[in-house]
A and B are shown apart, each in its own frame.
Chain A
């Protein structure tokens, strides 16, 4: 059953008095209990897409298209409905827990705030969050509840944030790079907790990350976003064998691999482009090694190919040929 439906989402932000396009066109669906990884480079609009779902946007933002949660339009909600939606249906896990948790209030106050705010008894809320802290591997709970954020490590704070998100018993988790700010060993541990709790509770999740491999490991489907456009959406299981968009292939090639030996790590040529910079054609045209004239003039629509959706004119043609090597240093040197 479809839980979240993002249809032709666009977003403009006011920068220095003029509107700037941040998201061009994102269409995405999430089923109940399904995890979708939203992958892209910095500034691609992935974070803003997740924020649009909870309508947590900067002042002066203009939203186009539709976001429906369980059949209800999020952009159309009034203040009261929006608060109810945020406090019961959807929970956001932010990247930087240290700045997102109020430094002058206790961990206990942070964890129970949302529950008490929606009318639950304080004592009940404490019971709920205490159990949750244990399940995400935080012990000595009564002591922790009385501590302040600066007394906890980054990894612990992020687990507190996850517990706070789970506490409201949401149906959808929005995780905005939840482990990016942590060191590598802590990352794995925190991610494992998040993944286990999400699967155990059957929650849907929109997982925003720049790490395609990580997304493929914890999500059911992957949506790749470039310069504010959704360019490819595919089952997580096919990411390694069969990607259809040159950009996705480029992302895969630029990850170090344990099996492939390379003198130099591959990079996608050029620099990431912002949504407002791109021309009418394909957003990836400036950096794509497979460009033809059509790409420069016409923006490719999302097309269904097998179990994937892809926005590339040459998708069928290139299927199977998109090699990791095309982006790697050795091959370009040879050409």
Chain B
């Protein structure tokens, strides 16, 4: 029951957030310098031609009318038309969205699996813990563009294990092409997740339920999985969610560095070319992705922590 309620609440929040975000995104670009009409006409134009273009594109309408037209288009699956490519934004994005989804998903898997494994090892094995903490502290301080350059130098140029550029074809090819970008994107978040996991596991290890399990002759392996990791998963999941949502933004840098034709690099190009419709669409998609990931984490939290399922009094 509580589950249905929370899912509905999250959906309502998603809609509301997107609505607010859409006003902010549209408004920011409305206020941004540069007139799409001049851009479109190029070179010398007479004021009358300019006005004609403006009329065709409804640029002379008031803000809210234009915003409403735009929103109405989006609700009908039409993200607008790119002035630069003279193509609908929807079809421009279609080929690129998947590349970004693959990259972010790959990176999320690397972060969660690697971070939790390292954190757990660090918490359970004291010596190893020291090494892992030192390593992850360096990882935490490494921005993704630095990681990208180091990874390309080492694994693509020197060792030639992985390609440095592009997206590849076929599942194996994509996996190979996306490995370095995913690791570059994951690195600092992985370190963060590992440190958080270590702290969460250490905390649970000291809790009384662990003592109870030990006093009942439960095998150490089961004590860790059922009474330590199971409980530590609650904070780990919350933070992993924020992490993965953050990847959506970090994705922009890494796609540029590795020449991946995804949403991030498209956003950069669109911005450089003042391709308003494309910028708006990508920004809106990034916000939506962020909110959806957070919603998924909230629902996952309900499954992990029965105490959250109680209706708030």
Residues of A with Cβ closer than 8 Å to B? 54, 56, 82-88, 91-92, 94, 96, 99-105, 113-114, 117-118, 148, 150-151, 164, 168
Contacts and interface: CB of A to CB of B under 8 A. Distances in A.
A291 B226 CA distance: 54
B302 to A, nearest CB: 12
A64 B227 CA distance: 31
B230 A114 contact: no
Interface in B183-238: 207-209, 211-219, 222, 226-227, 230-231, 234
B208 A87 contact: no
29 contacts: A56-B215, A82-B217, A83-B218, A83-B219, A86-B217, A87-B218, A92-B212, A92-B215, A94-B208, A94-B211, A94-B212, A94-B215, A99-B207, A100-B209, A100-B212, A101-B212, A102-B209, A102-B227, A102-B230, A103-B231, A104-B305, A104-B307, A105-B226, A113-B216, A114-B217, A117-B216, A117-B219, A151-B310, A168-B216
Interface of A is mostly: helix
Contacts of B213: 102, 113
A204 to B, nearest CB: 17
A105 B211 CA distance: 15
B306 interface: yes
Nearest to B309: A148
Contacts of A105: 226, 230
Contact of B222 (A91, A104, A117, A150): A117
B217 A85 contact: yes
A252 B213 CA distance: 36
Contact of A56 (B209, B211, B222, B306): B211
B14 interface: no
B274 to A, nearest CB: 52
Contacts of B306: 103-104, 148, 150
Nearest to B212: A100
Contacts of A92: 212, 215
Contact of B231 (A54, A100, A102, A168): A102
A99 B208 contact: yes
Given A104-B304, A104-B306, A148-B306, A99 B216 contact: no
Contacts of A85: 217
A150 B309 CA distance: 11
B211 A100 contact: yes
Contact of B217 (A83, A148, A150): A83
Contact of B218 (A56, A103, A117): A117
B307 A100 contact: no
A84 B216 CA distance: 9
Nearest to B216: A114
A91 B227 CA distance: 18
Contacts of B304: 104
Contacts of B214: 56, 86
Contacts of A94: 208, 211-212, 215
Given A102-B231, A103-B307, A104-B234, A86 B209 contact: no
Nearest to B227: A102
Contacts of B305: 104
Contacts of B216: 86-87, 91, 113-114, 117, 164, 168
A92 B306 CA distance: 26
Nearest to A92: B215
* A84, A91, A103 pick with most chain B CB within 10 angstroms: A103
A69 B120 CA distance: 36
A122 to B, nearest CB: 14
A83 B217 CA distance: 4
Contacts of A113: 213, 216, 218, 226
A284 to B, nearest CB: 31
Contacts of B217: 82-88, 114, 117-118
Task: Give 7 closest A-B pairs by Cβ, nearest first.
Answer: A87-B217, A86-B217, A102-B209, A99-B208, A83-B217, A148-B306, A114-B216
A105 to B, nearest CB: 7
Contact of A102 (B219, B226, B234, B310): B226
A148 B307 CA distance: 8
Given A56-B211, A83-B219, A104-B307, 16 more contacts: A56-B214, A56-B215, A83-B217, A86-B216, A92-B212, A102-B209, A102-B213, A102-B226, A102-B227, A102-B230, A102-B231, A113-B213, A114-B217, A114-B218, A117-B218, A117-B219
A54 B215 contact: yes
B307 A150 contact: yes
B95 to A, nearest CB: 44
A92 B217 CA distance: 11
Interface string B280-313: 0000000000000000000000001111001000
A96 B234 CA distance: 23
A10 B153 CA distance: 61
Contacts of A87: 216-218
Contacts of B219: 83, 117
Nearest to B230: A104
A146 B305 CA distance: 14
B212 A104 contact: no
